Amino acid sequence: MAKYDVIIIGSGLGGLECGYILSRKGFHVCVLEQNSQIGGCLQTFRRGKASFDTGFHYVGGLEEGQSLHSLFRYFDLLDLPWQKMDEDGFSEVIIQGKSYLFPSGHERFADKMSEYFPHQRKQIADYTAFLKKVGENMMNSFVPGVKNDFTASTLLERSAYGFLQNGFDDPLLINVLSGASFTMELCAEKLPLYVFAQINNSFIQSAWRLKGGGSLIAEKLAGSIRSMGGEVRTNAKVTRLNEHNSLISSVCVNNEEEVAGKYVISSMHPALTLSLIPDTPNIRKIYRIRMENMANTHGLFTAHLQLKQNTIPYLNRNINIFNGTSPWNDVDERCSGTTAALVSFQTPESGSAYTSNIDILTPMLWQEVSPWANGRGTEYSAFKAQKADECVDLVSKRLPQLKENIERIYTSTPLTYRDYTGTYEGSAYGIRKDYSHLFYTLLSPQTQISNLWLTGQNLNLHGVLGVSMTSFFTCAKLVGMESLIKDLESG
């Protein structure tokens, strides 16, 4: 039986980052991935000459001194082929037929928004200063006992939508400021202010795409783990967690192999993790029920468009389209029909002025695809084709030359994410955080078994920045946060 210091279940961003941190600390690590490709939502797939991203499209705050820079410096990811998005407009928000550009930099952002809404100039300045302050204090989340008005512990207990309503008296401005937020579920009744603020702030700091796609991040992290003596295995599905003397003593892989470890970290959904452990008095029934009944954020439908050669100019920004609806509508209303979409252009690796493919993403509820959860068919194919047509029709209002220049359309739904990335119910952003029930929906890395921990987007924060921070919170349970802070500061 192979033996390791730490077994990590899942090779998504959180699992790989935990593997990197602990390998760097001298632990003998083994990362187990059930699929043939590592990366989770960082995966890319190829169709012909075109490469498509599964879930990764852009990141924010990657310049020196910004939120993600120190984290990616630590993980040795800064030398990847990052491309900075247009500083004059990294995102374009289209609401009620009118276009609004989001420039990088807090002052430039405030100036541009004030041009669009001159009667709200003071409120916009206050809002932008608030976001900047959140970013400046973000790393205080790593320091025990530090609490002020701008740390996560305080802002997670406040409503994002309530904050915007109190700060602005123009509903259109609220919708515009929220319009570049396809990186989260804009649930007006639940979304904590900190989630909204730290994500939007990071992109206003600076926005970046990655030539070659998100799989480059996964491959770099996996290569680093291996170079430090660890292992990253594919086609290795964990099918059971074996308990002995109130600890997880080993894991069963593919129902046939046992792998032993002193510690186990799971980046799977907490409910799926607990389902791998037979009934035991060490996990209270109420804890299992809580994990199983957690509400999950909605998923995404993606139309991956392969384009005719040299037809659609590359646009170094995202386009966010809302067909007369508010980004803050009830989630069920937002997911009934294709009324909103994020358009992401693939960065040309050759330096061409034209893109080879475009992704169109729109919210989708699990209930829309659950009838096909145990089997596909012609109805499912027809459903996807209709949804893809709706996406193209919506985006063609902004890119009228698009429809005639599509060579092939590939699609993915929450079912696809469930099957190929292991995402519970295809949820795009993990467990839904609720500012009014914070301690119920915000999970600790520690489980009720002392050597089993959780990591990933279902715990504290989702997204590249949030998951990277969470990986430190998880690993601190083994090595101490003070030690990790020193490592982070030294690079």
> Helices 193-205 and 106-116 meet at what angle, rounded to 10?
100
Instruction: Say if residue 277 is in the same domain as residue 139.
Output: no
Q: For residue 250, what are the β-bridge partners?
A: 242, 260
Q: Are 52 and 304 in contact (CB under 8 A)?
A: yes
Q: Is residue 66 part of a domain?
A: no
Q: For residue 159, what are the β-bridge partners?
A: 192
Of 392, 407, 426, which residue constitutes the final position of a domain?
A: 426
- Quick one: DSSP state of residue 346? P
Instruction: Say if residue 420 is in the same domain as residue 442.
Output: no
pLDDT at residue 456, rounded to an integer: 95
Instruction: Say if residue 220 is in the same domain as residue 281.
Output: yes
Longest pairwise C-alpha distance within the chain: 69
Q: Is residue 54 part of a domain?
A: yes
> What is the rounded distance in angstroms from the CA atom of residue 339 to the CA atom of residue 398?
14
pLDDT at residue 332, rounded to an integer: 57
pLDDT at residue 155, rounded to an integer: 84
Among residues 111, 430, 107, 421, the alpha carbon closest in space to that of 294 is found at 430
- CB atoms near residue 306 (< 10 Å): 18
DSSP string across 391-410? HHHHHHTT-TTSGGGEEEEE
Q: Is residue 377 part of a domain?
A: yes
- Quick one: DSSP state of residue 329? S
Domain that holds residue 315: 82-211+296-426
Q: Is residue 311 part of a domain?
A: yes
Query: Mean pLDDT in the chain?
Result: 92
- Per-residue pLDDT, averaged over 48-62, amounts to 86
> What is the rounded distance in angstroms from the CA atom of residue 266 to the CA atom of residue 252?
14
pLDDT at residue 302, rounded to an integer: 96
Instruction: Say if residue 184 is in the same domain as residue 171.
Output: yes
Contacts for 47 with CB less than 8 Å, ≥ 6 apart: 304, 306, 408, 410
Instruction: Say if residue 304 is in the same domain as residue 384.
Output: yes
Assigned token pair, 412: 């993915």
- Per-residue pLDDT, averaged over 332-341, amounts to 70
> What is the rounded distance in angstroms from the CA atom of residue 340 to the CA atom of residue 392?
11
CA 485 to chain CA centroid, nearest Å: 23
Of 399, 426, 453, which residue constitutes the final position of a domain?
A: 426
pLDDT at residue 142, rounded to an integer: 66
Among residues 455, 340, 466, the alpha carbon closest in space to that of 22 is found at 455
Of 398, 426, 454, which residue constitutes the final position of a domain?
A: 426
Number of compact structural domains in the chain: 2
Backbone angles phi, psi at 54, to 5 degrees: -80, -55
pLDDT at residue 419, rounded to an integer: 87
Q: Is residue 389 part of a domain?
A: yes
Query: Which of 195-199, 205-209, 373-377, 451-455 shows the lowest per-residue confidence on average (mean pLDDT)?
Result: 373-377
> What is the rounded distance in angstroms from the CA atom of residue 359 to the CA atom of residue 182?
13
Q: For residue 231, what are the β-bridge partners?
A: 30
pLDDT confidence tier of residue 20, bands split at 50, 70 and 90: very high
> What is the rounded distance in angstroms from the CA atom of residue 120 to the CA atom of residue 23?
50
- What would the pLDDT profile of 266-310 be if each residue is shown by its tens digit? 999 999 999 999 888 899 999 999 999 999 999 999 999 999 999
CATH number for 395: 3.90.660
Instruction: Say if residue 456 is in the same domain as residue 357.
Output: no
Instruction: Say if residue 92 is in the same domain as residue 113.
Output: yes
pLDDT at residue 335, rounded to an integer: 53
pLDDT at residue 150, rounded to an integer: 52
HEC-encoded secondary structure of 64-99: CCCCCHHHHHHCCCCCCCEEECCCCCCEEEEECCEE
CATH number for 443: 3.50.50.60
Instruction: Say if residue 31 is in the same domain as residue 108.
Output: no
Instruction: Say if residue 206 is in the same domain as residue 218.
Output: no
